[in-house]
Amino acid sequence: MKHRTEDLALFGGPPAFLHNRRVGRPNQGDRARFLERMNRVLDNEWLSNMGPLMYEFEERVAQLVGVRHCVSLCNATVALQMLVGDATTGGAPDDEVIVPALTFPATAHAVRWRGLRPVVCDVNPVTGLIDPDAVEALITPRTRAIVGVHLWGQPCDVLRLEKIAESNGLRLFFDAAPALGCTHGDRPLGGFGHAEVFSFHATKVVNAFEGGAIVTDDDALAARMRAVRNFGFGPDGLVELLGTNGKLSEAAAAMGLTSLDALEDNIAHNRAMYEAYLAALSGVPGVRVLEYDPQHRNNHHYMMINVEEQGAGVHRDLLLEVLRAENILAQPYFRQAMHQLRPYADESPAPLPHAERLCGQLLALPTGPGVSTTDVEVIGDVVRAAVALSGEVTARRRTEPAGATGA
């Protein structure tokens, strides 16, 4: 336990870890299985363009989620672009798509990338999920679609959003990038709205180096998405739609399958780390582990805390600095709300107070296979020390410029 500011690595003390503990360390699964799959890929001499491993990956994901179709893609951003484009075919450039303010920039960018207007919506002050009342208030005759985000694997208010979309004749998609293996009640996320999108980025609970998928029960939508991902080629080999190149390579599918094999073990490990963090951070003033509705299953891939400066005495960003100096590579997800991002700053001048506040308070702590319960105890001790010494830490950071301490 660090008792004085001098003990903190930020002020010259020895770091808590020699090798970093970080958010987003890839879940690679069994390396021998991956190499065996890669050997098959190389032996097949079929590296991309709808190969056998890609189809196997799609089948496995569709089965896991309980939907008829999984259209695998090169990443989730392209998946969102494809869905938004499909929802607004034949529309006008000022067509609107409602997106939450608290998400990764990809959600809003996908809308703008298709030349449409993302209308940014405030979120629930506790969960950070898109607020259905705020969604309703933003619907105009130009609204074409709503994109909810299952932030940190928590389900959006899917049933309410489905009703809102249906009664207003809107398309409803869910950005489920962080939410594979999560549920709403007993139903896996992936089966709600018109379609949902998963990310299989290196940092996600299932990693395919880079990858994504659209999952849906809509046969016609799935057929269009299969064409769009392949330059618009239809089953007869003729271009029938405006397409892109969104294909998932065989190497990505090999990693995706191997990582998928380990999904349940990873979720069990993450849950154990989550419980360990609850204990390690219990009673630290101003620091709260985000708690989830027990009716739904979370994959606990993101280990989120809320740092309230007033109670903790230290701002989230300074706590982040303290942790990073200790080789604890936490991540401030997210630093800015969507309407604060430069490309959108002119469009939605109204403040969105809940999202803005959460952007200054949320922090993702390391979890996943590279983190043990002992590590969690050490991380908990550093957080506890930073809060206990907050007055001095804040004062020293103000007077001692970065670098002067060797940090």
Residue of this chain nearest to ligand T4K (CB atom): 24
Binding mask 214-253 for ligand T4K (x = CB under 6 A): ----------------------------------------
Residue 178 touches ligand T4K, criterion: CB under 6 A: yes
Q: Which of 72, 103, 361, 390 binds ligand T4K (CB under 6 A)?
A: 103
Q: Which is nearer to ligand T4K, 178 or 286 (CB)?
A: 178
Residue 365 touches ligand T4K, criterion: CB under 6 A: no
Q: Which is nearer to ligand T4K, 80 or 134 (CB)?
A: 80
Residue 25 touches ligand T4K, criterion: CB under 6 A: yes
Residue 153 touches ligand T4K, criterion: CB under 6 A: no
Q: How far is the CB of 45 from ligand T4K (least distance, A)?
A: 27
HEC string of the chain equals: CCCCHHHCHHHCCCCCCCCCEECCCCCCCCHHHHHHHHHHHHHHCCCCCCCHHHHHHHHHHHHHHCCCEEEEECCHHHHHHHHHHHHCCCCCCCCEEEEECCCCCHHHHHHHHCCCEEEEECECCCCCCECHHHHHHHCCCCEEEEEEECHHHCCCCHHHHHHHHHHHCCEEEEECCCCCCCEECCEECCCCCCEEEEECCCCCCCCCCCCEEEEECCHHHHHHHHHHHECCECCCCCECCCCCECCCCHHHHHHHHHHHHCHHHHHHHHHHHHHHHHHHCCCCCCEEECCCCCCCCCCCCCEEEEECHHHHCCCHHHHHHHHHHCCEECECCCCCCHHHCHHHCCCCCCCCHHHHHHHCCEEEECCCCCCCHHHHHHHHHHHHHHHHCHHHHHHHHHHCCCCCCCC
Contacts to ligand T4K from residues 131-150, by CB under 6 A = 149
Residue 109 touches ligand T4K, criterion: CB under 6 A: no
Residue 100 touches ligand T4K, criterion: CB under 6 A: no
Q: Which of 212, 286, 368, 380 binds ligand T4K (CB under 6 A)?
A: 212
Region of 32-40, 84-92, 121-129, 197-205 interacting with ligand T4K (CB under 6 A)? 197-205
Contacts to ligand T4K from residues 41-80, by CB under 6 A = 75-77
Q: Which of 12, 26, 115, 243 binds ligand T4K (CB under 6 A)?
A: 26
Q: Which of 171, 201, 229, 397 binds ligand T4K (CB under 6 A)?
A: 201
Residue 158 touches ligand T4K, criterion: CB under 6 A: no
Q: Which is nearer to ligand T4K, 202 or 223 (CB)?
A: 202
Instruction: With CB under 6 A as the rule, give the number of residues binding ligand T4K.
Output: 24
Q: How far is the CB of 82 from ligand T4K (least distance, A)?
A: 12
